[in-house]
Amino acid sequence: MSVTVRVPATSANLGPGYDCFGLALQRYDEASAALHPGGLRVEVEGAGAGEVPTDATHLVVQAMAKAWAAVDLELPSIHLRCRNCIPHGGGQGSSAAAIVTGLLLGRALLADPARLSDDAVLQLANEMEGHPDNVAPALLGGFTLAWTRADSSAAAVRLQVHPDIRAVIFSASKASSTHHSRTLLPQTVPHAAAAANSAAAALMVHAMTVDPGYLLEASQDRLHQPYRASSMPESAALMDDLRGAGIAAVISGAGPSVLALVTSDMDLQRWQRRGFAGRQVPICDTGATITES
């Protein structure tokens, strides 16, 4: 039996929703796996080909092994084929996609997949990724709110995106490290900044689901983007230019890609910048999908 999993790209934070908001986009990584008695075999096409490992340290393989270990089993030899369209290091959820892909492939190859619940998959994904804001929309699709409970477990809900909202992603040609971007954040922030972000995040939920007319105002952030701007000046400049023109633009995840949320067609030619490729990407309502053959 061969199992194929397709997982969408994701954009996290959406401005004020740091480590909480996520949005699934119709750009996909796809991987197929089957038991392979001849030993581990990993093939990679597309993004990351020739750069990511093709042994047991490949992130998808690690996640598959994690799924089996969760039910006290050792992952057998497999043949894994990955076809990647999500840019690596671009703030579009490539690591979350790999983790979700591996966990779902691993579960599907179990003799009894029901031993690993959907919630268990979310918990394992959060444990591997370190935060749930990308893995939630990768699993659930749409616009998600994710949070970490007092016991360190993850939780998420999916909300229906207003039908008028469209996503435009400006993919950066340069990559960045999420870990490095997190080191730029201060240990404390001014109370006024925290209060402003709380209000904006609440308004963002309303804008994304009920009234997109508030998108520009709701997508303001004072919690993380200002502190990361110096590490990605071109991204910050593009975001500021878009916002100055009345377009709700944010840094996508940890960057350096930029996400714009609009309700009408954008003149992408006007907004082309050196080092960025802009394209409208439909919002993905379904999240990860699994097929068997």
| Helices 59-69, 94-109: crossing angle, 10 deg rounding | 40
- 221 within 8 A of 15, measured Cβ to Cβ: yes
Going by the DSSP 8-state scheme, the letter that residue 131 receives in this structure is S
Q: Specify the residue for token string 């082309």.
A: 272
Structure tokens given for 257: 């890609």
CA 180 to CA 225: how far, in whole Å? Answer: 13
Cα dihedral 220→160→289→105 (10° resolution): 60
Angle at alpha carbon of residue 10, lines to 4 and 15, rounded to 5°: 170
* DSSP, residue by residue, 146-214: EEE-TTS-EEEEEEPPPTT-EEEEEEESS---HHHHHHTS-S---HHHHHHHHHHHHHHHHHHHT-GGG
pLDDT value at position 75? 97
Q: What is the pTM of this model?
A: 0.95
Chain segment 14-45, per-residue pLDDT in tens: 999 999 999 999 999 999 999 998 899 999 99
Angle at alpha carbon of residue 82, lines to 127 and 99, rounded to 5°: 5
Structure tokens given for 87: 């840019």
Indicate the pairing of strand 21-35 with strand 143-148: antiparallel
> Hey, what domains does the chain have and what are their CATH numbers?
2-160+284-292 (3.30.230.10), 166-281 (3.30.70.890)
Cis peptide upstream of residue 282 (ω within 30 degrees of 0) = no
List 41's β-bridge partners, or say none.
79
Going by the DSSP 8-state scheme, the letter that residue 81 receives in this structure is E
Structure tokens given for 108: 């599907």
Three-state SS at 82: strand
- 111 within 8 A of 9, measured Cβ to Cβ: no
Q: Specify the residue for token string 């031993």.
A: 115
Residues of the chain with pLDDT under 50: none
